Copies of this chain bind each other. A is one copy, B any other.
Amino acid sequence: MSGLGDGANYAPETKASAVVAPGTFRFAAAHLDHGHIYGMVQGLVAAGGTLVSVYDPSPERVQLFLERFPQAQVAPTFDHLLNDASIRLIAAAAVPCDRAGIGLQVMRAGKDYFTDKSPFTSLAQLEEARSVVAETGRKYLVYYAERLHNEAAWHAGELIAGGAVGRVLQVVNLAPHRLAEATRPDWFFDKSAVGGILTDIGSHQVEQFLTFAGCAGASINHARVANFGHPHRPGFEDFGELSLTGDNGASFYARVDWYTPDGSPVWGDGRTFILGSEGTLELRKYTDPGRATPASLAILTDARGVHEIDCQGQVGFPFFGRMMLDCIHRTELAMTQEHAFLAAELSMRAQELADG
């Protein structure tokens, strides 16, 4: 593993069934800077993707990766991946500021790109990616793991789509993360490399709001970042918050922070509260504090009562299979390109507002 702290390597396994035959969906992994690459590859492999090859400039990182995914051939250069016509998609978790540039290369090589979030660190990068997507017809897919790789969060989307809470009026996300400062690489604390806490872990939260509330746009009411407790890391933000109003009137508030207490059994006690016109949902995404860890729990309260829905190991991660089918069929059933970009855009605009 890459030593980025327990959250960074979060790569849950659950029930999964392949959506394609072996060898049908050939992909590569590259730029393993963030441990999220493990979750990304795990998700694709579990859904039937065929991991063909891996590239990283660091032999040590490649070696660690091969311990988990020994089936990957080691590519000597990134160009070898770009030039391999059998590879349909490249998954990467580069240093955030480099993700856009890598994505442009991938798309211009005729492949789809699957990047860790945040997909960009600047609005200029986003605009360039929009134009290269239009130019190449390729996909710039984003691993918004806090929904896509979380069973309670995924199931919440299904419950909402089924009308369980009526109209969604508000979403609140509380997203603490464990800092594990000693395990983080230098770039993690460099704002020019990560873009800031709202751009980074804020993008997950906005993506969840847009999904749960069914918004195609939102305005930013308030955004704030702070470095409350790490003055020795001057470029670092350990706290962020943002408030949005969706284009359909739904309200959103999110807090992101690096203050998971050392005694927490999980990297973050992530919670989502969804207020609907006919019911409410609480998601305890990774832990049911003091009671069960890991956990992935949805608590639905509606006209009939309170329903505790244990999602752990029950829901799976349908996103990955659907995403691969989207790549094959050139559809957008797993997630639209515009949705993936909009979540990033709003989080970066919130970051700009907070930066003042």
Contact with B along A163-191 (1 / 0, CB 8 A): 00001011010101000000000000000
Q: How far is the CA of A275 from the CA of B271 in the complex (A)?
A: 13
Please give the residue numbers on chain A whose beta carbons come within 8 Å of chain B beta carbons, in ascending order.
167, 169-170, 172, 174, 176, 221-222, 224, 226, 228-229, 239, 241, 243, 245, 249, 251, 253, 255, 257, 259, 261-265, 269, 271, 273, 275-280, 282, 289-291, 299, 301-308
Q: Tell me if B228 and A249 are in contact (CB < 8 A).
A: yes
Residues from chain B with a CB closer than 8 A to the CB of A251 are 224, 226, 239, 241, 255
Give chain B nearest CB distance to A308 CB in angstroms.
4
Option from B170, B222, B289, B290 in Cβ contact (under 8 Å) with A255:
B170
Give chain B nearest CB distance to A170 CB in angstroms.
6
Q: Tell me if B306 and A169 are in contact (CB < 8 A).
A: no
Q: How far is the CA of A118 from the CA of B253 in the complex (A)?
A: 25
Q: Tell me if B249 and A243 are in contact (CB < 8 A).
A: no
Q: How far is the CA of A253 from the CA of B249 in the complex (A)?
A: 18
Give chain B nearest CB distance to A261 CB in angstroms.
5
Q: How far is the CA of A301 from the CA of B288 in the complex (A)?
A: 12
A245 with B224, Cβ < 8 A, contacts A261-B303, A273-B174 known:
yes
Task: Apart from A224-B245, A261-B280, list 16 A-B contacts with CB within 8 A.
Answer: A167-B229, A169-B259, A172-B253, A176-B275, A221-B243, A226-B251, A251-B255, A261-B278, A261-B302, A262-B302, A263-B301, A269-B280, A269-B301, A289-B299, A289-B306, A290-B299
Q: How far is the CA of A282 from the CA of B284 in the complex (A)?
A: 13
Give chain B nearest CB distance to A73 CB in angstroms.
44
Residues from chain B with a CB closer than 8 A to the CB of A263 are 279, 301-306
Option from B239, B273, B303 in Cβ contact (under 8 Å) with A262:
B303
A169 with B222, Cβ < 8 A, contacts A253-B241, A301-B289 known:
no
Q: List 25 A-B contacts (CB under 8 A).
A: A167-B229, A169-B229, A169-B259, A170-B241, A174-B273, A176-B280, A221-B222, A222-B222, A224-B251, A239-B251, A243-B243, A243-B253, A255-B275, A257-B275, A259-B276, A259-B277, A262-B303, A263-B304, A264-B306, A269-B280, A271-B273, A282-B289, A289-B299, A289-B301, A290-B299
Residues from chain B with a CB closer than 8 A to the CB of A308 are 289-291
